[in-house]
Amino acid sequence: MSNDDDQPVEYYFNTRTRMVEKGRVSSWEHLMGPYPTAEEAAGALEIAKARNDTWDDDDDWGDDS
């Protein structure tokens, strides 16, 4: 038998409400995550922007040669 207390807490950023949620409360369509802390979940949009900027600057992406 498994105990839910053994599972790590995960946090999500809800793109519709712009709120951090503890656990998957809302539909996956509106969630970014999971993140290990509420602070990281609150910064989800900034994290995504930084990753997108990095990928946009990757000249080798999609280069099969």
pLDDT, average across residues 24-28: 94
CA 63 to chain centre: 27
User: Which residue, 44, 55, 50, 36, is CA-closest to 15?
Assistant: 44
pLDDT at 32 over 90: yes
pTM, full prediction: 0.74
The pLDDT-based confidence of 16 (bands split at 50, 70, 90) is: very high
What pLDDT score was predicted for residue 56? 81
Instruction: Spell out the domain ranges in the chain.
Output: 8-56
Give the neighbor-by-neighbor strand order of the sheet with 19-22.
19-22, 11-14, 31-35
Q: 40-60, pLDDT tens digit by residue? A: 999 999 999 999 988 887 777
Buried b or exposed e, range 20-37, using 16+ CB within 10 angstroms: bbeeeeeeeeebebebee
